[in-house]
C-alpha cells in the first residue's frame, strides 16, 4: 500500500503498517482500508489483538528488579577502591 491506500488491503499491509496503526500515524485513507480488511479478516483481527497484548506484556519487563543489596554493596566497594578512598 505504501501508505497510499490505492488497492484492497492484504494481511501483509496490516502487518507492515502495524506500528503506525498502533501509534495512530496512518493517513485516513490507509486507516480506512486497513480497518475494513481487519474487520473482515479473522486472522488480522487476531494479529492486532495479540500484538497489542504483546506490547503490554513487554512493558511489564520494566518492573523487573536486578540490583540486589549485594550488588549495591559491591558497587560501593568498587567506587571506594577505584577512587582510592578509605
Partner 1 sequence: MEIGFLKKIVSSLWEIKGKTKDNLSSLSDEKLIELFTTDGKNEEIFEEIFNRYANRVYGLAYRISHNQIDAEDILQEVFLTLFKKIDTFKGKASFSTWLYKVTMNASYMHYRAKGKKYESEISLENYAPYDENGTLMGRIKSKDWSDRPDEVLFSREALETIERAVNDLPEPYRVVLYLRDVEDKSSDEVANILGISVGTVKSRLHRARLFLRDKLSDYFYEWQG
Q: With the C-alpha atoms ordered 22, 11, 36, 32, is the resulting torsion angle positive or negative?
A: positive
**Binding string to partner 1 for residues 15 to 54, with x set by CB under 8 A, is what?**
xx-xx---------------------xxxxxxx-xxxxxx
Cβ proximity to partner 1: between 35 and 47 the closer is 47
Read out DSSP for the chain? -TTT--S---HHHHHHTHHHHHTT-S-HHHHHHHHHHHHH-HHHHHHHHHHHHHHHHHHGGGG-----HHHHHHHHHHHHHHTT--
Count residues contacting partner 1 (CB under 8 A)? 47
- Rounded to the nearest whole angstrom, what is the least distance from the CB of residue 67 to partner 1 in the complex? 5
- Rounded to the nearest whole angstrom, what is the least distance from the CB of residue 41 to partner 1 in the complex? 8
Residues that bind partner 1 (CB under 8 A): 10-16, 18-19, 41-47, 49-62, 64-67, 71-72, 74-76, 78-80, 82-86
Amino acid at each position: 500500500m505504501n501508505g497510499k491506500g490505492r488497492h484492497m488491503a492484504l494481511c501483509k499491509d496490516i502487518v507492515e503498517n502495524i506500528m503506525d496503526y498502533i501509534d495512530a500515524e496512518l493517513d485516513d485513507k490507509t486507516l480506512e482500508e486497513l480497518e475494513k480488511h481487519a474487520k473482515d479478516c479473522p486472522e488480522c483481527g487476531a494479529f492486532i489483538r495479540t500484538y497489542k497484548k504483546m506490547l503490554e506484556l513487554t512493558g511489564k519487563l520494566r518492573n523487573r528488579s536486578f540490583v540486589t543489596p549485594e550488588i549495591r554493596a559491591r558497587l560501593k566497594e568498587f567506587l571506594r577502591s577505584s577512587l582510592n578512598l578509605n
